[in-house]
Amino acid sequence: MSTDTNADADAESTSNCGGSSGDSGGDSSESKCGASSSPASSSSSRCGASNSDDSGSNEKEVGATVDDFDADPGQLTAVGLGPGQPEGMTERAKTALLDADHIVGYTTYIELLPDEITEQADEIYDTPMCGEVSRTEEAIDRTLAGNDVAIVGSGDPNVYALAGLALEILESKGATASMVDFDVVPGVPAAQSCAARLGAPLVNDTVSISLSDHLVPMPEIESRLHAVASESFTITIYNPWSRKRRENFEKACEILLTHRDADTPVGIVHGAGREDEAVLITELGELEDFGEREIVDMTTTIVVGTEDTYVWDDRMVRPRGYETKYEY
Ligand SMILES: C[S@@+](CC[C@H](N)C(=O)[O-])C[C@H]1O[C@@H](n2cnc3c(N)ncnc32)[C@H](O)[C@@H]1O
């Protein structure tokens, strides 16, 4: 079983969502909805009269509805980029991005795109962080205005990402998924990219938990963590640490230690597939100390082993169970 327990913020930054770094305040450019006048470039235009604040603190209102657009809608594709570097992207993802008129995403992800893709697009709309709702709405409005739009994110669009939000906003605008030929192009999720760096720590029942309390309150996260840690699941922890979430990380370590031995193997992978990749295998009893070190931040995924997981030759191994049936 693999379960993702919440839909999460799209930010990988240590800054606070809802802080003062939203991009809309100083936005002086005009909405370019439906236009393709500017070359591929970073744009902070707002398309389709969205009236929400991009700071992440006031994103509840959806602006334009489907009736505000006259054009035949384009196609909307949620594209997973995988862990980071272009070689980690699927061919299907590259093709979807090359086919898109407009590419929309968090600035960090846009910066990960190869030049051949960004140069091909008519427009690129990126926002520094947070603002997931307004960014997704921007992508939808551009689609309803007749453009083929790709909205990008790291890993897979179904893992703590924007695929679901896109459908929800489409629905709230009175549109349908078919109207924009909505499609999802999968990417390699962080859990899998990170597991690959660690050896073979997943291979059996695994559950993902996000420690971001941006959308799910911490008491709920704690209760999910108790439930999962008390069973024999490998646990992949997303969004493990930020200055603001220091206490969440400490609490998570405490909960894990109430269910698992201190010598349980734990893998920490920062920036899998990126230039600053770092990999470390430690024990659960030591994990909390890593919360104050560079390797654990919002671009880190932590893999917590089970009672069966062991470390062999610097690799985490979780037996699949073959040894109970076969001799080798
Ligand atoms: C909002 S979630 C997005 C997850 C993404 N959709 C996926 O499928 O991996 C962001 C979290 O994913 C994890 N993450 C994303 N890219 C990563 C990478 N290259 N290395 C390690 N963890 C990563 C981190 O835990 C980060 O806080």
Q: 139: closest CA among 89, 183, 77? A: 77
Ligand 1 pocket residue status of 160, Cβ below 6 Å = yes
Pocket test for ligand 1, best of 3, 160, 185, 303 (most atoms within 8 A of CB): 160
158-194 confidence digits (pLDDT tens): 999 999 999 999 999 999 999 999 999 999 999 999 9
Nearest CA to ligand 1 atom 27: 239
For the chain, which ranges sit under pLDDT 50?
A: 1-16, 18-46, 48-59
Helices H / strands E in the chain, number of each: 9, 15
* C-alpha separations of 324 from 202, 215, 242, 320, 328 in Å: 18, 42, 42, 9, 10
Residue 131 · residue 60 · CB < 8 Å: no
* Ligand 1 closest atom vs CA 269: 21
Ligand 1 pocket residue status of 297, Cβ below 6 Å = no
Instruction: Provide the terminal-to-terminal Cα distance of the chain, rounded to the nearest Å.
Output: 26
The pLDDT value recorded for residue 37 is 29
* Ligand 1 closest atom vs CA 8: 1
Ligand 1 pocket residue status of 22, Cβ below 6 Å = no
Q: Which helix (H) or strand (E) holds 243?
A: none
Compute, in angstroms, the gap from residue 145 CA to the centroid of ligand 1.
31
Compute, in angstroms, the gap from residue 123 CA to the centroid of ligand 1.
25
Ligand 1 pocket residue status of 190, Cβ below 6 Å = yes
The pLDDT value recorded for residue 84 is 84
Compute, in angstroms, the gap from residue 280 CA to the centroid of ligand 1.
17
Give the 3-state secondary structure of residue 301.
strand
Ligand 1 pocket residue status of 143, Cβ below 6 Å = no
Compute, in angstroms, the gap from residue 37 CA to the centroid of ligand 1.
34
> What distance in Å separates the CA atoms of residue 227 and residue 142, rounded to the nearest whole number?
42
Compute, in angstroms, the gap from residue 38 CA to the centroid of ligand 1.
31
Q: 41: closest CA among 121, 112, 116? A: 121
The pLDDT value recorded for residue 42 is 45
Pocket test for ligand 1, best of 108, 185, 301 (most atoms within 8 A of CB): 301
For the chain, what is the mean pLDDT?
Answer: 85
The pLDDT value recorded for residue 129 is 76
The pLDDT value recorded for residue 1 is 35
Residue position matching structure tokens 């902070």: 44
Domains (range + CATH), the chain: 16-187 (3.40.1010.10), 191-317 (3.30.950.10)
The pLDDT value recorded for residue 131 is 85
